[in-house]
Amino acid sequence: MTGIIAFIIVFAVVVFIHELGHFMVAKWSGVRVREFAIGMGPKVVQLRRNGTTYTLRLLPLGGYVRMAGRGDIDAPEIQPGMTIVIVPEDNQVKRISLSSEMALIGGMAVTVDQADLVDALEIHGYLENDDTKRLTWSVDPDATMIEPNGTEVIIAPRATHLESASAWQRLLINFAGPLMNFILAVVLFFGLAFAMPSVTTTTVDQAQKNSPAYQAGIQHNDRITKLDGHQINNWQSMQTYIQTTTKNQVAVTFVRQGVVKTATVKVKKMTDQGQKYQMIGITARQSTSAADRVQYGIHTAGQAFTQIFHSIKDLIIRPDINKLGGPVSIFKTTSDVSSLGVLAVVSFMAWLSVNLGLINLFPIPALDGGKIVLNVIEILIRRPIPEKVENYVTAFGAVLLVILMIAVTWNDIARIFLR
């Protein structure tokens, strides 16, 4: 149960922050955000504030931002012959209901002949008990519409559509989601640095007796700065280098009492309970100082970005579905780290947030990165990309993502549960 709760919280927070980025920049750009949903599936509760309907949905996984425009595929259309309920006020329609389950105070039933809530902002039709006189009602640009599922959202005149924003504004809207994931990760890494009892430094606390480092002359209080000429800024990056090197020895550069020295240290291969690893036999000095905590936060965040970026680059160069993980894999990992405590879950959330941000910047249609590419093309050619072309590209990307998600999910299930 702890693993399930941790998974829901981690996944919800990371996706919520991502969507919050899109939401904030869209509002700033004048794009109407009709709904901000937390979770998926049937609506549980809704609240309207400043032109946006905030909904909490039944399945506590993810969420979405519903912007006005072509991408608002959930928006129902008012078709001729439909019977709707309108609430006129001050010679303008303020509320419209397409739901048969909700009654509106002061509402009147209208059989629609024609409706335009995008450009003309008018409804033409007949009162329910009088089909002899065709009437016209002007619609307030800020009127709301109750959809068949009961969700009440503001209408979307063309000037408020995503497509009406400039290419630069749309680019910023698309980039804002990944950016917020990066900001979340940095905040979490700094939070971890100050929440932990102490943080590791690159200064040696102890060289274990008869270990390769001890035999090479490395001592207590030596501050390691380089491995094989590569700059070392934190203990984790040093561990990663030693674990992944294919060399039998490494050149360790360190500072002792202000003097820079270099020692050649053998890499010892070990096996513990079937797990293979490499070591040189040193432990890190712990610190509780604010300066070291800040440095730890900076370097850990930098390491996360660098390591995940290189992993993605390796995936592109050498594609392998086993290098990808979907919701099943995330659930399994979250369940594993939840047994290690709250700090471990927060650390995983930070790494996952970086991962989600970078993956979303892939130049694949339907992802934020693919949309950004289209925005850049539009900026360069100085004219809008034809709607048909954009729709085809986006549809292709969506199909590709669905196929990839199915393949990754099945691979996760097979790898984790069936082997």
Specify if 32 maps to a domain.
no
Residue 29 lies in a domain: no
How many domains, in total, are found in the chain? 3
Instruction: Identify whether residues 310 and 391 lie together within a single domain.
Output: yes
98 and 240 both lie in a single domain: no
CA angle 372/377/379 to nearest 5° reads 95
Whether residue 264 sits in one domain with residue 294: no
The residue among 238, 267, 287 that closes a domain is 287
In this predicted structure, what is the pLDDT of residue 415? 63
Burial class of residue 212 (count of CB atoms within 10 Å of its CB; 0-12, 13-18, 19+): buried
Residue that finishes a domain, picked among 140, 160, 180: 160
Kindly state whether residue 407 falls inside one of the protein's structural domains. Answer: yes
Q: How far apart are the first and last CA of the chain?
A: 23
In a domain, 68, yes or no: no
Distances (CA, A) of 7 to 61, 178, 328, 335: 9, 20, 10, 7
Q: Are residues 208 and 98 in the same domain?
A: no
* Residue 305 and residue 323 share a domain: yes
For residue 242, what is the domain's CATH number?
A: 2.30.42.10
pLDDT of residue 418: 61
Asked whether residue 13 is domain-assigned, the answer is no
pLDDT at 326: 64
* Residue 58 CA: distances (Å) to CA of 3, 62, 336: 19, 11, 26
Cβ atoms of 161 and 69 within 8 Å: the answer is yes
Summarize pLDDT for 368-382 with one digit per residue, the tens: 999 999 999 999 998
Within a domain: residue 134? yes
- List average pLDDT for each run of 10 residues in the chain, which is 419 residues long: 80 91 95 92 89 89 86 83 89 90 82 93 89 90 90 92 94 95 93 90 88 88 89 85 86 90 86 78 88 87 82 74 67 75 87 89 86 92 85 78 73 64
Q: 193 and 332 share a domain?
A: yes
In the prediction, which pLDDT does 142 show? 93
Q: Is 19 a catalytic residue?
A: yes
Residues 6+ apart with CB under 8 A from 366: 394, 397, 398, 400, 401
- 139, 228: one domain: no
Q: What is the pLDDT of residues 1-56, one digit of tens each?
A: 777 888 788 888 899 999 999 999 999 999 999 999 988 888 889 999 999 999 99
Pick from 236, 268, 287: which residue ends a domain?
287
Is 208 found in the same domain as 140? no
Residues 222 and 130 placed together within one structural domain of the fold: no
272 & 376 share domain: no
Residues 187 and 222 placed together within one structural domain of the fold: no
| CA distance linking residue 413 with residue 127, whole number of Å | 57
Cβ pair 414, 330 in contact under 8 A: no
Q: What does the buried/exposed string (b/e) look like for 362-384 if buried means 16 or more CB atoms within 10 Å of the residue's CB?
A: bebbbbbbbbbbbbeebeeeeee
The answer to whether residue 210 sits within a structural domain is yes
Asked, for residue 16, whether it belongs to a domain, the answer is no
- The boundaries of the domain holding residue 243 are 199-287
The answer to whether residues 227 and 323 belong to one domain is: no
pLDDT at residue 382 in the model:
87
The two beta strands, 259-266 and 152-154, are unpaired
The one catalytic residue among 19, 147, 152, 378? 19
